[in-house]
Structure 1
Amino acid sequence: MPILNRTIAPDSKSIEKINLIKANEIDYKNKVKLYAINAGEQSVKKIDFIFNAGTWYEKQRLVSLITNLMLNEGTTTKSSNKIADLFEFYGATFNVSISPDTAYISVMFLGKHIEKILRILDDILRNSSFPQNELDNMIQNKKQKYLLDSSKVKVLARRKFNEALFGNEHPYSMYSEYSDFDLINTDVLKSFYSDFYSSSNCKIVLSGSVTDADIKLIEKYFGNDTWGSNKAIQSIKYKVKSSEIKNHIIEKTDSVQSAVRIGTTMINRSSTDFYGLSILNTVLGGYFGSRLMANIREDKGYTYGIGSIAVSYKHDGYFVIVTEVGSDVCQKAIDEVYIELKRLQDERIPESELSLVKNYMLGEMVRAFDGPFSIAESYRELIDYDLDMSYYQDFLDSIKNATSVQLQEIANKYFSRENMYEVIAGKKS
């Protein structure tokens, strides 16, 4: 057996393409669409239900969130305890979540129990009853969490930042008030549930070792007759009303730390510039070795962590730099952020740094397709934008072919200081 020489680094290989497993797409007669991803041989499967039922579609604050959270709290045939016991008995995990655009139900389970799991989910999607006692408990818990969160500078900064970018009546910035909890009742939840958790508004992603029998079971429970009201989902348009004031301070004099957010509205995943923007974001603050981390954390010691994010929603997007710093160095940290933004505009990224970032991003892309559930998550992201899997190959090609000249042009196009909003929650030095 040869001895491994650990003084010599292993050969590296260039990632030329990602082996994308194409989903088997099936349109059922009741308008449900299935994406079946047959990958892996493990006994565990995962099913995701996707609905256009995020905050974008609610007429009353909190309705989309509470409706989503209440789905497993009882049906006309089962109590919340009974549902929980059944999932536990079959070794399944049930999760719900929402984004501003979309609502999700996700269940991971042993493949041999698929029909039993689908039967429970069928009951949840057709017969959720939103019991008053369960709703009262949830509202009380959410109120307590709201009060706790409202004392945190990072929460105050996030709320004010999104409001400054989109306006306080836009779904991407419309945060709830304490009084909104008292306006939630079972009637508004049942109405939202009926209108948006319906067969005509449902996409399903099934991943794992998917068989023809599994696909037939999906059709049996969710692809034949209609469920929900099946009203046409209206295409709602909201106007972005950005604040005319670019700098906002939320005073919290007892805070040792100040939360800082700097950014602006931005393109979303549907724009071809989003590829280059993602690379720039990674250079600036998208990984542990980023410029913001190197400067403001490692060199200056102003913070334990700082990062930047290019957020993509279905109808819009934004770019934001996020950190918490000592109140005594808040302005110094902000000054350094703008220095790093200006560097991206004025200087080309050195080839050595760009190569490092490219390799990091390519590695992250490979990990994003490592296994059926990661592939399913990637599909979920594309479904929101009506994109297909060629998006990821195009993204990979854009990363490999990006030049410092192109990235400098994108930085000058999108990172102008005059477009940036600045929010501080805490004390500004």
Structure 2
Amino acid sequence: MPGVEAPVLRVELIWDAGRPFENKKLQAGATADMLVEGTRHRSAGDLEGFFEQFGTALAQPDLMDTANLSLSTIIKHAGKVFPVMAEVIAEPAFDEASFRKFMKRRKQQLREGLSDNDTLAFRLITESVFGPDHPYGYNGYKENYAKLTLEDIRNFHKSHFHAGNATLYVAGHINREVEALLERTFGQLPTGPRAIAPTLPATPAQPQIIQVLRPRAQQTMIRRGRRGIHIGSEDYGGLVILETIFGGYFSSRLMKNIREEKGYTYGIDSELDTYRYDGSFGVSADVANETLGAVRHEIDIEIDKLLQHPVPTAELDMVRAYLAGSISMELDGPFGHGFRHRSALIKGYDPAALLRNLNDAIRDISPAEIQDLAQQYLSKGDDFEVILGGADLIEGAQKITATDQPLQLTAGII
């Protein structure tokens, strides 16, 4: 990578082997997790100790669309650590003992997650927005783990974790010696056909409000969301500006109104969450039980303002400056540019086109155009909402009991 003088390297294999590509729920994540549970020649403990002696470790970011395995090192150690990384990829143990340990650990995490309100709220809103059978919406439950077998993991590894279905991302000080080492190490991995993503299942048709009552809880969580946000859309740059104004930074409208002026919460924000095939626009806040109704009302007021009135020029200029500075910092140096390309590989977009889209929106978008986007993407009645905590049941909410079963809503499926 031009501009990198320090003798450091980051190597990452990116496979089209995330949730949209699996044949059975949990298959993709389980295969990726078990990849580092030992090889045919080394135990998991041996692997950890080996990489520790060189001041590094294998990393696996938690992603939806891809499976990733990365390693950062200095060049003088690359000849030692890269071959063992390739061994992890090509020769995982995938033995019964490791599988049993993995299943035991995952089931314990499931029990803990179902007892944690924040985790439970996240699970419920993702299931609500995308549906309990969609790769972006489903969560792990006992029934899914009971159906998952070691053979499922072995088969998914064979069909997806090979060089023909991977992209090798390298950032750092790259010279001819490094290129030759990469070819000797990763160029010899087994290959095969590129994976084809299956047709994604239908998503819920009718948004609604669901509420989990926790009478002993001192607070109540609000999670709102809607799908249909795509990072490759021409609207994306404008949506970044709209979301920033609404709740995307410390001076946003939600923060000023609900936190600073009303004092209803320590924090409330909105978020654009994008994947390769879809995305969501959401709001999250933790509030006192007695202020639940007031906070929901104020969120609606801020949405109405964006629908009914153009954003004042001074406010828009402040957001322009904030986003321009954020993007400049993000792209500072070769590693910043590299991570933009990495994101493009994972989410499947053109990084140059996206940057132009963002820059054009920051420079040229008008208040009227922001209002148009608000009317398209923040229209009333399109939000799914999860309320969890000690507040009383609100009018219009579907009361559910949080159990270890997928969400079953009365809404239809399209």
State the TM-score, normalized to the length of structure 1. 0.86
1:205-235 per-position Cα deviation (integer Å, ceiling 9, x unaligned): 1111111221222222222x4515x244233
1:178 shift after superposition: 2.6
Task: After superposition, give the CA deviation of every residue in 1:362-385 in whole Å (9 maximum; x if it has no partner).
Answer: 111112122333332211111121
Query: Is 1:393 aligned to 2:338, yes or no?
Result: no
Q: How does 1:4-403 map to 2 (within 5 A)?
A: 37-223=1-187, 225=188, 227=190, 230-383=192-345, 384-403=347-366
1:174-211 CA-partner distances (Å, limit 9, x unpaired): 11113433443322211111111111110011111111
Structure 2 residue aligned with 1:428: 391
Q: Which amino acid aligns with 2:219?
A: Q
Q: Which residue does the alignment assign to 2:402? A: none
> By how many angstroms is 1:333 displaced?
0.7
Deviation, structure 1 residue 144: 1.9
Aligned counterparts of 2:148 and 2:333: Cα–Cα separation in 1: 40
Rounded to whole Å, the distance in 1 between the matches of 2:372 and 2:245 is 15
Is the 8 Å Cα contact of residues 262 and 423 (structure 1) preserved in structure 2? yes
Q: Is the 8 A contact 2:48 2:57 kept in 1?
A: no
- Give ranges in structure 2 of 5+ residues lacking alignment: 393-414
Residue in 2 aligned with 1:20?
none
CA drift of 1:256 comes to 1.7
Q: CA RMSD in A?
A: 1.8
* Cα distance between partner residues in 2 of 1:385 and 1:251: 40
Count of aligned pairs: 391
Letter paired with 2:177: A
Tell me how far apart the structure 1 counterparts of residues 189 and 118 of structure 2 sit (CA, whole Å): 44
Task: Decide whether the 8 Å contact of 1:306 with 1:323 is kept in 2.
Answer: yes
- 8 Å CA contact 2:207–2:382 kept in 1: the answer is no
User: Which residue number corresponds to residue 8 of structure 1?
Assistant: none
Q: Is the 8 A contact 1:46 1:373 kept in 2?
A: no
- 1:201/1:391 Cα in 2 relative to 1: closer, same or farther (>3 Å)? same
- Residue 59 of structure 2 aligns to a residue in which SS? strand
Is the Cα–Cα contact under 8 Å of residues 139 and 181 in structure 1 kept in the other structure? Answer: yes
Percent identity between the aligned chains? 27
Deviations along 1:150-177, one digit per CA (max 9) or x if unpaired, are 1223322222222222222111101111
Give the C-alpha shift of residue 251 in structure 1.
2.1
Say which is worse superposed, 189-198 or 132-141, in terms of deviation. 132-141
Aligned AA for 1:67? T
**SS state of the match for residue 373, structure 1?**
helix
The alignment partner of 1:263 has SS state of strand
Distance of 2:3 and 2:95 partners within structure 1: 39
* Distance in 2 between residues matched to 1:87 and 1:107, nearest whole Å: 9
Give secondary structure in 2 for the equivalent of 1:400.
helix
Does residue 411 in structure 1 map to residue 374 in structure 2? yes
Question: What TM-score, normalized by structure 2, do the two folds share?
Answer: 0.89
The answer to whether the 8 A contact 1:268-1:274 is kept is yes
Change (3 A) 1:370 1:404: same
Alignment check: 8 A CA contact 1:153 1:258 kept = no
Single out whichever of 390-399 and 317-326 deviates more from structure 2.
Answer: 390-399
Q: Give, in whole Å, the separation in 2 of the partners of 1:159 and 1:89.
A: 38
1:306–1:321: 8 Å Cα contact kept in structure 2? yes
Moved more, 134-143 or 119-128: 134-143
- In the alignment, residue 182 of structure 2 is paired with which amino acid? I
Structure 1 contact 260–322 (Cα < 8 Å) conserved = yes
Structure 1 residue 134, shift from structure 2 partner: 3.1
The amino acid of 1:421's aligned partner reads F
Moved more, 185-194 or 48-57: 185-194
For 2:267 and 2:98, the matched residues in 1 are separated by 39
Measure, in 2, the Cα distance between the counterparts of 1:247 and 1:80. Answer: 44
CA contact (8 A) 1:44 1:110 kept: yes
